[in-house]
A and B are shown apart, each in its own frame.
Chain A
Amino acid sequence: QLQMQEWGPGLVKPSETLSLTCTVSGGSISSSSYHWGWIRQPPGKGLEWIGTIYYSGSTYYNPSLKSRVTISVDTSKNQFSLKLRSVTAADTALYYCARKGYCSGDNCYVLVGEAFDIWGQGTMVTVSS
Chain B
Amino acid sequence: SYELAQPPSVSVSPGQTARITCSGDALPKQYAYWYQQKPGQAPVLVIYKDSERPSGIPERFSGSSSGTTVTLTISGVQAEDEADYYCQSADSSGTYVFGGGTKLTVL
A interface with B by C-beta (< 8 Å): 37, 39, 46-49, 52, 60, 62-64, 96, 100, 111-117, 119-122
Instruction: Give the shortest distance, in Å, between B103 (CB) and chain A (any CB).
Output: 10
B26-65 CB mask vs A (1 if < 8 Å, else 0) is 0000010101010000111100110010100000000000
From B37, B49, B52, B97, A49 is in contact (CB under 8 Å) with: B97
Q: Which residues of B contact A48 (CB under 8 A)?
A: 98
Interface of A is mostly: loop
Q: Are B31 and A116 in contact (CB under 8 A)?
A: no
Instruction: Give the shortest distance, in Å, between A46 (CB) and chain B (any CB).
Output: 4
Contact A112-B42, Cβ < 8 Å, known A47-B86, A47-B101: no
Instruction: Give the shortest distance, in Å, between B41 (CB) and chain A (any CB).
Output: 8
Interchain Cβ contacts under 8 Å between A and B, 7 examples: A37-B96, A47-B43, A62-B96, A112-B52, A114-B33, A115-B33, A119-B44
Q: Are B43 and A119 in contact (CB under 8 A)?
A: yes
Measured CA separation A47–B43 after assembly (Å): 9
Q: Which residues of B contact A64 (CB under 8 A)?
A: 1
Q: Are A49 and B54 in contact (CB under 8 A)?
A: no
B82-107 CB mask vs A (1 if < 8 Å, else 0) is 00001010100011111111000000
From B35, B95, B101, A116 is in contact (CB under 8 Å) with: B35
Instruction: Give the shortest distance, in Å, between B80 (CB) and chain A (any CB).
Output: 19
User: What are the nearest 9 A-B pairs in CB distance?
Assistant: A119-B42, A47-B98, A46-B101, A112-B48, A49-B96, A115-B48, A115-B33, A113-B49, A46-B100
Q: Are A63 and B95 in contact (CB under 8 A)?
A: yes
Measured CA separation A39–B54 after assembly (Å): 21
Measured CA separation A100–B100 after assembly (Å): 20
Instruction: Give the shortest distance, in Å, between B8 (CB) and chain A (any CB).
Output: 10
